[in-house]
Structure formats: C-alpha cells, structure tokens
C-alpha cells in the first residue's frame, strides 16, 4: 500500500513541476498567438499560429524591421513591423521610406511585391497622431506589411516600448507555412 501512495505522490509531484515550468515558460519566455486579420499579409496570414519570444526585449531594444506583438489596448494585441526607432524622423514619399531624410530599402516588401501590391501613402511623422518631429524616447513606429489595410502607428501614434509583448519568432500552424520570422 505504501508503494502505491509513493507512486501517486511521484505522479502528482511530476504534474506540479510540469505546470510550474509551463507557467514560467509562458509568462517569461514564449507565448502562442493567432494572427487576426490581413494587416501583415503576405508575411503573415489571418489565422496563422505563431510563437512570440518574450525574452529578447528584456535585455535589448527592438530593432528596425522586427515583427513585434504589442498591447494595442486592454483587450487586444496587435502584430506589426518596427519601422522607426526613438529619435528618428519618419517619412514616406512615392513608396520610399525615409529615415532622417535618407531612403531606406524595405527588402521584405520588395520580395513580396509579386504576391500583393504594396502601397504606402505619402506622409511625414508631423502629419500623424501626436504631431511629433521625431519618435519620442521609449517609443517605436510600427506599420503592417499590408499598408492599405492596417491599423498601425499612422492611426495609433508611436507605440510605447514597454507595451511590446515580444518578437514574433516562428509560424507553427498551418504546417505548410512553418517558418522562422525575420527580415
């Protein structure tokens, strides 16, 4: 009888350890998300299931062209691409990104032009929410890859870095779209 009790205790202990480890991993390291909507097409599709890596931004700032998940409000998280960093001036003219007056190539858009037409309407940072001349410290400027159908910094303004959940790492479902996300 004592052996049976020890066996049950071992199973309960193993189960509790697994639950604690899962909680730690999900809270501090990785979390699953489901893409909702077409704003990141063709890079990400509606209903893609992904893993978000929470770890990198605990120690470093987001980099240009990282695909990030952030809290848009209390109920909703958005997934977008970081375009501008703190202290930079952003402008688009004739489908060209200008950062501090210098044209910047967006390779991910060029590679996807065969899938969809990517058009970014002309704007300067001063014309958008907040009327900033540069992106404030502690904020980033984000855009969806599907520029004609995206609620992003053009409507929301710069995004506080402390609202970023993590970096999109990998699409794991549907299986035929399995891939690591990068520039």
Structural domains in the chain?
30-180 (2.10.109.10)
The model carries a pTM of: 0.82
Measured CA to CA, the distance from residue 114 to residue 108 in angstroms comes to: 11
Q: Which helix (H) or strand (E) holds 11?
A: helix 2-24
Q: How many residues does the chain have?
A: 183
Q: Is 113 part of the annotated catalytic residue set?
A: no
**Position 28 pLDDT exceeds 70:** no
Q: Is 5 part of the annotated catalytic residue set?
A: no
Give the residue carrying structure tokens 């952003």.
90
Catalytic residue among 3, 5, 54, 80: 80
Residues 6 or more apart whose Cβ sits within 8 Å of residue 119: 95, 147, 148
pLDDT of 139: 96
Catalytic residue among 5, 13, 39, 76: 39
Burial 27-41 (b: 16+ CB within 10 A, else e): eeeebebebebbbbb
Q: Give the whole-number percent of the chain exceeding pLDDT 90.
A: 34
**Position 43 pLDDT exceeds 70:** yes
């Amino acid at each position: 009888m004592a052996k049976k009790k020890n066996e049950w205790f071992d199973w309960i202990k193993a189960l509790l350890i697994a639950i604690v480890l899962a909680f730690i991993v999900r809270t501090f390291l990785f979390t699953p998300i489901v893409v909702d909507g077409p704003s990141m097409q063709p890079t990400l599709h509606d209903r893609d299931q992904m893993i978000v890596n929470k770890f990198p931004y605990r120690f470093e700032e987001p980099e240009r062209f990282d695909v990030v998940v952030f809290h848009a409000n209390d109920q909703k998280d958005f997934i977008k691409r970081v375009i501008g960093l703190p202290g930079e001036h952003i402008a688009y003219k004739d489908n060209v990104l200008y950062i501090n007056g210098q044209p910047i190539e967006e390779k991910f858009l060029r590679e996807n032009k065969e899938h969809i037409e990517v058009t970014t309407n002309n704007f300067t940072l001063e014309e958008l929410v907040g009327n900033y001349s540069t992106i404030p410290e502690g904020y980033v400027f984000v855009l969806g890859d599907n520029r004609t159908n995206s609620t992003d910094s053009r409507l929301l303004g710069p995004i506080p870095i402390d609202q970023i959940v993590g970096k999109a790492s990998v699409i794991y479902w549907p299986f035929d779209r399995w891939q690591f996300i990068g520039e």
